[in-house]
Amino acid sequence: MHNSFPANGFMGNNLDGMWQAVEEFRSRFEKRSGTRAGRGELRTAILALLAERPMHGYQIIREIEERSGGSWKPSAGSVYPTLQLLADEGFVSTEEANGRKIYSLTEAGREDVASAETAAPWESAGAPGFGALPKAGVELAQAAAQVGRTGTPKQVQEAVTVLEEARRRLYSILAQD
């Protein structure tokens, strides 16, 4: 972690509040944007990907990471057991190609995907930990922290004004029809 006081020694009520808010904001988004997804999301994600084309396990991991904007990268230790479970359930079949197991949906797997009422996790607009908002929030918090650590008192005050305006504008988005 870092010192919660800027190197230039400037302290004021606005800066104290800004630091506290930035740190809280950053920690919340960093917790959300880890590699864990909600219960059942990995299964849903794997089925959605295999509905598009057959893949091997590491392709699945890369696709999930890419489609989630880098906010979710499941481990091989979670993907392969899920693939095995889907095979045991009769939704996935495997075949060897170039020394790798290639997974594809069975007819039962295609029927399950077609009848599923849930979208792939990266397609859900409000899915926690996915999309650009958490990433943008963390990057904003990092920039504000950098200004707080190295900026002049005038720059810090300008940053506080920008953050206050950003907060107002974000709430105005929610207030729209």
With beta carbons less than 8 A apart as the criterion, state whether 148 and 5 touch: no
Cα(114)–Cα(118) distance, rounded to whole angstroms? 10
* Average confidence score pLDDT of the chain: 78
**What pLDDT was estimated at residue 155?**
94
Cα(28)–Cα(169) distance, rounded to whole angstroms? 20
DSSP-assigned letter for residue 177: -
SS3 content of the chain, % helix, strand, coil (to 5): 60, 5, 30
Q: What is the pLDDT of residues 108-161, one digit of tens each?
A: 999 888 887 767 777 654 455 555 676 677 788 888 889 989 999 999 999 999
